[in-house]
Chains A and B, each alone.
Chain A
Amino acid sequence: MSEVRIGVFVCHCGSNIGGWLDVPEVAEYARSLPNVVFAQDNLYTCSEAGLSQIKNGIKEHNLNRVIVASCTPRTHEPLFKRVCQESGLNPSLFEFVNIREQCSWVHMQQREAATQKAKDLIRAGAAKASLLEPQEDIYVDVEPRALIIGGGIAGLTTALTIANVGFDVKLVEKEKELGGLLRHLYKLYPSNEEAAAVITPRIEAVRNHPRIEVFNDSTVRDVRGFVGNYDVIIASDGKEETIKTGVIIVATGAEELKPQGLYSYDGQKVITQMELEQLLADGNVSATKVAMILCAGARIPERTYCSRTCCMTAIKNAVLIKKQSPEAQVYILYRDLQTYGTEYEEYLRMSKEMGIRYIKYSLSNPPTVSDGGVKVYHELLGRELNLETDLVVLATPLVPHSDAKELAKKLKVPLEQNKFFLEAHVKLRPLDFATDGIYLCGCASWPTDVEQTIAQALGAASRALIPLTKGQVKVEPIVSSVDQDKCIGCGICEYLCPYKAIAVFPTDKGDRASTIVASCKGCGVCSSHCPMMAITMQNFNDDQITAQIAALAAV
């Protein structure tokens, strides 16, 4: 390697640094460090003037490493790296030393100590900079295709959106027919549109879309690869087919809990909301005294969550019964009503005006169902009511499909404690998995109403369209690399990597780990845990860190 020539630019940051420590002295000191051939102080290194000084420095002094000693790398590093690049210097050869947040701003009354600390940090920076190596940006090509698992309203919406933008879509549905849960519903709240009228045109559109291929009666057998380059093996009709795809969207939905053993459920006199939907669709509801019990099998110790959609489903079905037979008595037995937002709250108000009665019960004193009646302690009245009924409808929660766990394993994505899929971040990445190139939407993630499901499905399409439209995925060069001669293929790194970004593959020398650079996020856990010390973490490697430690300790 050619001679290392470091240039150090020490920033006054107005008086933010210069006011509290001796910047010229620090620059003077920097000049004395090994490999440093140039050092100067600037009023504002990040200003236009400061940046051109860096550019000039690189040119005039033939610098091949640049250190800026100023503020935090967390805000300004991209700027300085860009300037290096513009001057023909590989941005990986830039090193940032923070002497503002780490020195001047936090040791304001200790000028000497702050100055000394700044010198120490620059010494360590120079030690690391000497060992920096140029890294090339890594790009991987993206297979221009999306594979969607699940053909309900979520999967259909995502498929149409991605296909409309111009990418091929493979839609995998495990049942014979597309449509998912909506096939079993009568009318949707709050619009009262028929579910069939909503789902049928979408199924048609998907079937007729030249860019969409549907695999029904099919399941995902196995998934390999990484963002941009997944191989998904689909099993249908006893045949297997491998689909190459850039992205995968999980839209597998959920199913209604069958309340076996709850509230004398028998499917006749005591039925679920989904069973009621069928009766309503067939015009077969003759009952005139109906009690609906909410949170049947939900918000109980063994299933603590609220399924979000059941309150509105019950209210909507109660309204439908009332509309079919206005003389009918409908009671809704609830714990907390989830009529969030504008329309649902309005719907609730309307249902009350129609004469639907609401009775609040508590978990500690749940209603009991007997032949011809429901007994319930009305919390707000403070007494027990005996309701005469000829139909009891249980609002049961949506639960994950039993095969969710298997699918999660194949995709190497996590489930949360109720076995719904777990997104990358509950707040800011609701539609992404932590694994790049895999997305989720709809009830696979959590029980959601149709409106929210459609929004999520469109959103997942957007997320998936990012790598698809780019055609390439750029990878930060902070990635690990494995020395194939030292590696023994033990698989510890593969086990520990939170992103499945390192894996053991068979090679001529036997099993060896290697990094899937497209997925690596640069945490370095593999490197610190490799028993053979075979893994190097670029930009944060053992030699660099050890050099920093040594430099900091040297006085």
Chain B
Amino acid sequence: MDNQNDFEPRILGFCCNWCSYAGADLAGVSRMQYRPNVRVIRVMCSGRIDPAFVIEGFLRRMDGVMVLGCHLGDCHYLTGNYEAINMINEARKLLEYSGINSGRLLLDWVSASEGARFSEVVTNFTEEIRALGPLGAAEGRDFSELEFKLRAAHATARGEKLRWVAAKQTEFMTEGNKYGEVFSRHELNRMLEGVIADEMAVNEILLLMKERPLSVKEMAAAIDLPPPRVLRYVSALRKKGLVDLQSLDGNSPRYAIRVEEEVQQ
């Protein structure tokens, strides 16, 4: 069966009702054989996929996530698959920030008539993930390490700040922001990356503090960021009332999460 190793990738799939799921049906009707690794969840449109779903999949130790929609221009909902591009683009960046090989996430198009293509896409993706190895292997990291990052990514994906920018992408690229400035894909990527960098750091800080009170130095060391940047985030969190000064360790302050507030889940 499997040539050199016993690793069978666990892959989560999302298919839209109108094209890719129908393509999978046609693959079935036509008895096209493919690898049994993918578990498909049917949604109405690929534009439904929230980046948080993707992160959730990896948090649950899936080795790959695959999102299949209608070909561009064929979307049953006119533009849903264009929104899927934006969402998956965001998810991919979150994975990169979490230290996960973004090759583990696939966005592709399969029409209702492309049974063969469906089986091909599934087979190819399965083999790509097999080559990457279990989650963490290609990354050279332990899952526990990744898990911490993924939890921060999950909170980031569900956080208002990133969702705002992500959701505005189409408008910014076509009609521009409220000042009428139209952004290029490149500029938007820069903007997204900026927000992700900030929000990932903030959520990691919150996660760390959830364990125990920490000084800025300790936090900076734990998440590998320069202390001044961490201090900036902590100050901002204090202003928002999410974080309190817990104690002073000599001269150095220790911070803790304010009790009534929880990390955004």
Tell me the A residues contacting B by CB distance below 8 Å: 72-74, 98, 100-103, 105-110, 113-114, 116-117, 120-121, 124, 434, 478, 490, 492, 495-496, 498-499, 521-525, 527-533, 537, 540, 542, 545-546, 548-550, 552-554
Contact = CB atoms under 8 A, between A and B. Distances in A.
Contacts of A110: 36
Interface stretch (B50-58, B201-209, B224-232): B50-58
Contacts of B28: 72, 100-102, 105-106
Instruction: Give 8 nearest A-B pairs by CB, closest first.
Output: A101-B28, A553-B60, A524-B48, A523-B77, A523-B45, A529-B167, A531-B163, A525-B47
A409 to B, nearest CB: 13
Given A101-B24, A498-B80, A525-B47, 11 more contacts: A74-B21, A101-B25, A109-B33, A521-B77, A523-B76, A525-B83, A528-B50, A528-B87, A529-B87, A542-B50, A553-B62
Contacts of A540: 43-44, 48
18 contacts: A101-B24, A106-B34, A106-B119, A109-B33, A121-B39, A124-B39, A434-B78, A498-B77, A522-B44, A524-B45, A528-B48, A528-B50, A529-B163, A530-B163, A531-B167, A549-B60, A553-B57, A553-B62
Given A107-B36, A120-B39, A533-B163, A101 B29 contact: yes
B12 A492 contact: no
Contacts of A537: 48
Contacts of B56: 546, 549-550
Nearest to A495: B171
Contact of A496 (B27, B50, B83): B83
Contacts of A546: 53, 56
Contacts of A120: 39
A552 B22 contact: no
Contacts of B76: 523
Contacts of A523: 44-45, 47-48, 76-77, 80
Contacts of B41: 124, 545, 548-549, 552
Interface in B122-175: 158, 160, 163-164, 166-168, 170-171
A530 B31 contact: no
Nearest to A491: B171
Contacts of B171: 492, 495
> Which size class do B's interface residues fall under?
35 or more
B222 interface: no
Contacts of B36: 103, 106-107, 110, 113-114, 116-117
Contacts of A545: 41, 43, 53
Given A101-B27, A121-B39, A498-B78, A106 B33 contact: yes
Contact of A550 (B34, B60, B78): B60
